[in-house]
Amino acid sequence: MTLGFDISLAFLVVVLAAWTIQVHDTFSAVLAFVVFGLLVALIWVRLASVDVALTEAAIGSGVTGALLLSAAALLRPTQSAVAPPGAAWCTAAGVVCAIITAGLGAIALLLPDPAPTLAPLAAASLPQSGLGNPVTGVLFVYRALDTLLEKVVLVLALVGVWSLAVDRLWGGIPALWPATCPDSTLTFLAQLLPPVGLMLGIYLCWTGADHPGGAFQGGALVTAMWLLVMLAGVRAAPATGLLSLRLLLIVGPTLFLVIGLSGFALAGAFLAYPPGYGKPLIIVAEAALTLSIGVTLGLLAAGPAQRAKEP
C-alpha cells in the first residue's frame, strides 16, 4: 500500500519536473515548480526527515516560488526574444543527460549495505546538549561552525543583491513587484494571517529543540508573513539603508559568534557550550537567528533598491 503511494508520488514529482523544464510559458513553469517543491516536501516526510520537509516547503518551494514568480512576471516581455536550440542539439543533450541519470541511478541503487551512518553517534551524544531533536543537535552542536558560516553566506548574498542597485539609489527602497488593487482579498489576508503566522514561526523556533522545527523553518515563516504584508501593499518595504534594519540582519550571526567565542573561555573550545548551559544558549542563539534569517530571506526576495528613500 505505502509502496504504491511512494511510486505514484515519485512518478508525479518526475512528471512535474519534466513539465517545469519543457513547458513553453515561463510563468506556468514557475507555478509547476512550486507544486513540485511541495510534493518533494512530501517525499522528505516519507524519508523520515520532517525537519527537511518543513524547510523545503517553506524556503525551497514557498519563498523561492515567490521570488521566481515575480521575476517571471517582470521578464515576460523578453520571453520570446531567443530562439530555442535545434533538434540535433536537443537530442545530443538528451542522450548525455540520460547517460548521467542512468549512471547516478546505478550508483544510488548499488550503495553499500549496511549503509554507513552517524546516527548512533549523534543519538549517543545528544543528552549532553539537553536537546531532543537530533537534527538541531547536528546544526547547533556538532556542526555549529557550518551553521554559523551559512549565516554569513546569507548576509554576503544580500550584500551582493543590494550591490546591484543603481549608485544613486544605494540605501533606497526595494520596489517589490507592484501591489495589486487595494482592499482586495489579498489585503484582508495580509492583515489577518501575520499574527497567526508569526506565532507559528515562534512556536517552530521554540519547539525545534525537541521536535521537528528550528530557526530556519521559523525564520522562513516570518519571511512569508512579511512578504505577504509587503505584497499586499499594507506596509512598504523598508529602506535598505536603515540602521535598525541592518542591525536586525546581523544580530543573529553576531550573537552566535559571541556565544561561539565565549566557548573559548567557558568550555575550552570555539563554539563549545559550558556543561548544563547548552540548551539555554542554543535557544537564545536560535531566537536571534530566527529573526535575522526571516529578515534576510525577505530582503533577498525583495531585491535591490529601486526607489530613492523619502527624505
Partner 1 sequence: MTSTDIFALCATSLVGLGLFGIITNPQPLRKIVAFNVIGNGVFLLFGVVAHRGAAAGLGADPVPQALVITGIVVAFSATALAVALLLRLAKATHLLTLEADDGSDGDLS
Instruction: Report in angstroms how near the CB of residue 277 gets to partner 1 at its nearest.
Output: 22
> Cell for 184?
482586495
Beta strand ranges found along 144-268 (DSSP E): 173-174
Task: Report the alpha-carbon distance of residue 41 to residue 55 in Å, rounded.
Answer: 8
Please state the φ and ψ torsions of residue 306, each to the nearest 5 degrees.
-120, -15
Q: Does 221 bind partner 1 (CB under 8 A)?
A: no
Q: Does 63 bind partner 1 (CB under 8 A)?
A: yes
Residues 160-219 that bind partner 1 (CB under 8 A): 160-161, 164, 166-167, 214, 216
Note the Cα 185 to chain centre separation in Å.
26
Cell numbers 509502496 correspond to 3
Q: At closest approach, how far in Å is the CB of 102 from partner 1?
A: 8
**Should residue 134 be labelled a site residue for partner 1 when binding is judged by CB under 8 A?**
yes
Give me 20's grid cell: 517545469
Asked if residue 273 binds partner 1 (CB under 8 A), the reply is: no
Report in angstroms the alpha-carbon separations of 135 from 141, 181, 195: 10, 43, 28
Would you count residue 122 as binding partner 1 (CB under 8 A)? yes
Q: Taking Cα atoms as reference points, which of 70, 305, 311 lies closest to residue 166?
A: 305
Answer for which of 35, 88, 130, 147 binds partner 1 (CB under 8 A) is 147
The number of helix segments (H) and strand segments (E) in the chain equals 12, 2
Instruction: Note whether 256 binds partner 1 by CB under 8 A.
Output: no
Cβ-based nearer residue to partner 1, 197 or 298: 298
Q: Which of 35, 38, 49, 257 binds partner 1 (CB under 8 A)?
A: 49
Q: Which of 1, 35, 38, 79 binds partner 1 (CB under 8 A)?
A: 79
At closest approach, how far in Å is the CB of 33 from partner 1?
Answer: 6
- Does 21 interact with partner 1 (rule: CB under 8 A)? yes
Nearer to partner 1, 124 or 243 (CB): 124
Under the binding rule (CB under 8 A), the answer on residue 33 touching partner 1 is: yes
One-letter identity of residue 116: P
Report d(CA 132, CA 87) in Å as an integer: 55
**Residue 286 lies near partner 1 (rule: CB under 8 A):** no
What residues numbered 86-105 form the site for partner 1, per CB under 8 A? Answer: 89-90, 93-94, 96-98, 100-101, 104-105
DSSP class of residue 275 equals T
* Site membership for partner 1, residue 29 (CB under 8 A): yes
Which of 28, 123, 203, 247 forms a contact with partner 1 (CB under 8 A)? Answer: 123
Residue 244 makes contact with partner 1 by CB under 8 A: no
Question: Cβ(30)–Cβ(65) under 8 Å?
Answer: yes
Q: How far is the CB of 280 from partner 1 (least distance, A)?
A: 21
Torsion, Cα 149 222 71 300, to 10 degrees, reads -30
Query: Does a cis peptide bond (omega within 30 degrees of 0) precede residue 304?
Result: no
Residue 14 in the binding site for partner 1 (CB under 8 A): yes
Please tell me whether residue 17 binds partner 1 under the rule CB under 8 A: yes
Query: Nearer Cβ to partner 1, position 187 or 228?
Result: 228
Q: How many of the other CB atoms lie within 10 Å of CB of 306? A: 15
C-beta of residue 169 within 8 angstroms of C-beta of residue 303? no
Taking the complex as a whole, the smallest distance from the CB of residue 25 to partner 1 amounts, in Å, to 10
